[in-house]
Structure 1
């Protein structure tokens, strides 16, 4: 399924919200600390609301920096507001940091996480280095283009320069550049957009066995089970017990446990197990060899038949 990019235009309600937010006055450092203390110490809801309202414009400004990822601006603002609320609840006014500085980090982090989750159906940026690469590759590449005075291709030198600047591997740079240059496709979409052509899913390789291999494995497995059952009957009751308990049960018994049940030492159990396994192995191999000889005989009989003429 292909992701549909939401329109970037804002309706009248969104415009009124932005207009209201951007007219709110910023707070001084003393006002920030006073409101933060009232909320943190006294649980003053009005102080918290005033602190949040004053920095909604910071959310809008931060969200605007991420509008080129094709996601709805109102959704980016909403995620930024969540980050702002987290900042209010976690801010410690006694650490000597401006609330606006502290909140900026939480707002940006919330919006970035939203972009990573929704930019594509394929998850990108699962590590800190990949996140930095996702959000900075375009900017850094554009900067290098401006410095070079033209369009910059991602050659080895450019790739290595970006990898060094962002502290990631050159392979990560190449993979992310390819990911950003591509778009999401439905697996049912035809290659080249031609009706009736091959779909993208037709080129996916199934790592599992094909139907013929599945049937062959089922038939062979059933035949081996028959041979094994017949071979077990050739063992003595004590040998059968040891083989079943030591090799065929999901919870395998220890040599010491079997020795206690049979009244022998665990070394004797080990000797019996080794001998019984060799007998079992030889019996199964003999049956397999006999089955192969019969099959060869049948094939030889078929090839020697004379064609009949009506």
Structure 2
């Protein structure tokens, strides 16, 4: 066992190199301590996903377990940033846990799919993203009821932007890029990933300004819905609506990419 003081003096890169060689549990624990803040940040971000069946402390514990597994799988020799690699898999683990708990009520799931289908139909019919008024009219409900429906189905749309970039599909489908780590170094996979990342970047630029701001604050600045509401001077439910609308548009663009 290595002296903790000596470990604390090392850089993260040195710790990874040492762990790769020695597999010393003390080195691994030091790496976990260094990145434990990522787990808490993600747990706060995704609390809407698990709030109905788990406490935040339980989710943080699950995240730490995932982090430890990720450390064993991570290859420092590849040109990948560990923070991104770990964040993606921790978020994925929380979402998988929520799915196993059947966390979305059947009526909400049905409503979410109905809104998605209507949004997609109008998009192809109009050749552009439909407005909220057009969506409400097509669904046969008032604009206020449509806003309420967006809030109710927001959890249905909570997926990280990292997960979208990495190819997460609708629930129940395989996460094909996460299953085979050997794909990370394949030229065709690298090209496809770059193409997909550029496609989503373009799709984000097509969002409304307030939707772009919500996406930026949620994914880049890692603010909670409540914090975003404070920054933008709007209600938290409205932030949820904008977030759901943005993800619905991005998922539509991503679906077009996979079916093209």
Q: TM-score range by the shorter chain?
A: 0.3 to 0.5
Bigger RCO (CA 8 Å, 6+ sep): 2
Q: Which has the higher helix share?
A: 2
TM-score (norm 2): 0.39
